[in-house]
Amino acid sequence: MKEKYLINARVIDPKNNIDEIGGLIIDSKGLIKAVGKKVTNGNLPSSAEIIDLKKQILIPGIVDMRVFVGEPGFEYKENFRTLSNAALSGGVTSVVSMPNTLPVIDNVSMVDFLKRRGRDKSRINIFPSASLTKNTEGKQMTEFGLLKRKGIVAFTDGVKTVQDPQVMTRIMNFASQSDSLIMQHAEDNILSKGGLINEGEISTRLGLKGIPFLAEKIIVERDLSFLAEYSCRYHISQISSAKTIDVIRKAKNDGRIFSTGVSINNLSLNENDIGDFKTFLKLSPPLRTENDRNCLVKAVNDGTIDVIVSDHKPEDEESKRLTFSQAATGATGVETLLSLALELFHNKSIKLNNLISSITCNPAKILGIGKGTLDKGKEADLCIFDPNKPWVVDKNKLNSKSKNTPIENRKLQGQVLKTFVKGELAYDRF
């Protein structure tokens, strides 16, 4: 590999407090050799491969902590190849894959299969998670120690919540001893049973059973109480309500050490967008009120919420174009994550540095992986984007195998131009 010299860019790396006009050098091994304002056209060898970025923004490759892949068992929805293509077009170079496959990722042989398929079929970094409990049934915890030694970065039941408090305390106790990361989907199974959208005026008007915010808040309160006794690496996958933010903020102020995520969908949409039964907006957690959305945005900006995720969950159109009660839950989002997040920067809701932190260095730090940064000597996983480029979301032009985007025909400002993985140009819009 020839050395590459990326010049004339606005380089932003929140981890290292870099925000300056300059460039980046990729060495022959695909590693970052130099970065920042000292990398200019004036001090480069004449034989160098020079890529002029024309004042566009260069950031570390995006790390998405919550992505559902169809392999194994649901390849008709998404496979590693189509996921890779979708992720690269959105500047995402690393993903944490959820264990809700068929069979579930809960044993060593499945981990070996997943890593092998990810390596052979994908051009991005696949960091697999394993289930918290056997077959995600919430009854018997998986073998954390053995799975972690096989390369599992986190444990989660994905779309399911560990309901049994005895099981959860055992999980936290063992996670504390093994230094394992626990990621919990916070939704009380009983309170949310049969629920379809946020409980409130709109659910009543549409005649749909609602999911109260208490279903989320109760699980968060319970788990944070456990955390006080069993200090472990704990992450709330995604939250959706203002009341939950209050709980999280108080716990952090009290000295509890944990992290929190939020879906880009809950930052950009609210229950009003569902309109007359738009099933493509049937999500988990559900879209809530505009006040909830605003509170979530503020919590990202002030650091109460650490991570923004795409919650990429492909579903074929046949399973979405049903009645609201029968339609599958979930939406694609890995390739629109950055563009949709930039809306919050353009409307001055979230500072650009805070926004980039939430999708690069913050998730990488929580996961304990060497990504999300432009540190010298690290693999050159890079995202280059034009923050002002306008475009319209057309589902037929999306790279994901499934086209269940919740933002069809939405006008966005900001688009990924190039994506590098391990120093190689993996995606180029032009």
Query: Is residue 21 domain-shared with residue 147, that is, in the same domain?
Result: no
Q: Mean pLDDT score of the chain, rounded to an integer?
A: 96
In a domain, 399, yes or no: no
pLDDT at residue 76, rounded to an integer: 95
Which amino acids are annotated catalytic? 311
What's at 189, amino acid-wise? N
pLDDT at residue 46, rounded to an integer: 72
CATH code where residue 13 lies:
2.30.40.10
* Closest among 339, 277, 367, 365 to 97, alpha carbons compared: 367
Q: pLDDT for 203-231, tens place per residue?
A: 999 999 999 999 999 999 999 999 999 99
pLDDT of 42 over the 80 cut: no
Give, rounded to a whole angstrom, the gap between the first and last alpha carbons of the chain. Answer: 22
Q: pLDDT for 390-415, tens place per residue?
A: 999 999 999 999 999 999 999 999 99
Query: Is residue 105 domain-shared with residue 218, that is, in the same domain?
Result: yes
Place of tokens 């001055």: 348
In a domain, 284, yes or no: yes
Give the 3-state secondary structure of residue 78: coil
Average pLDDT for residues 269-284, to the nearest whole number?
96
Query: Is residue 269 domain-shared with residue 139, that is, in the same domain?
Result: yes
Q: pLDDT for 91-134, tens place per residue?
A: 999 999 999 999 999 999 999 999 999 899 999 999 999 999 99
Our count of domains for the chain comes to 2
Please, are residues 235 and 181 in contact by the beta-carbon 8 Å criterion?
yes
pLDDT at residue 43, rounded to an integer: 67
Query: Is residue 299 domain-shared with residue 383, that is, in the same domain?
Result: no
In a domain, 405, yes or no: no
CATH code where residue 104 lies:
3.20.20.140
DSSP 89-102: HTTEEEEEE-S-SS
In a domain, 80, yes or no: yes
Average pLDDT for residues 321-340, to the nearest whole number?
96
Query: Is residue 204 domain-shared with residue 70, that is, in the same domain?
Result: yes
Query: Is residue 132 domain-shared with residue 171, that is, in the same domain?
Result: yes
Give the containing element (helix H, strand E) for 211. strand 210-211
pLDDT of 317 over the 90 cut: no
Range of the domain at 305: 60-367
Query: Is residue 287 domain-shared with residue 336, that is, in the same domain?
Result: yes
Query: Is residue 316 domain-shared with residue 347, that is, in the same domain?
Result: yes
* Closest among 145, 168, 155 to 367, alpha carbons compared: 155
C-alpha pair distances (Å), 117 with each of 110, 135, 136, 208, 346: 11, 21, 22, 40, 39
Query: Is residue 125 domain-shared with residue 188, that is, in the same domain?
Result: yes
In a domain, 404, yes or no: no
DSSP 4-48: EEEEEEEEEEGGGTEEEEEEEEE-TTSBEEEEETT--GGGS-TTS
In a domain, 398, yes or no: no
What's at 306, amino acid-wise? D
Query: Is residue 130 domain-shared with residue 74, that is, in the same domain?
Result: yes
pLDDT at residue 301, rounded to an integer: 98
Per DSSP, helices labelled H in 259-416 are 264-268, 290-301, 317-320, 337-346, 352-357, 361-367
Query: Is residue 220 domain-shared with residue 358, that is, in the same domain?
Result: yes
Strand 259-263, strand 233-236: pairing: parallel
Q: Which of 37-46, 64-73, 86-95, 389-398 has the lowest mean pLDDT?
A: 37-46
pLDDT at residue 382, rounded to an integer: 98
In a domain, 209, yes or no: yes
pLDDT at residue 427, rounded to an integer: 98
Percent of the chain whose pLDDT exceeds 90: 95
Query: Is residue 349 domain-shared with residue 218, that is, in the same domain?
Result: yes
In a domain, 73, yes or no: yes
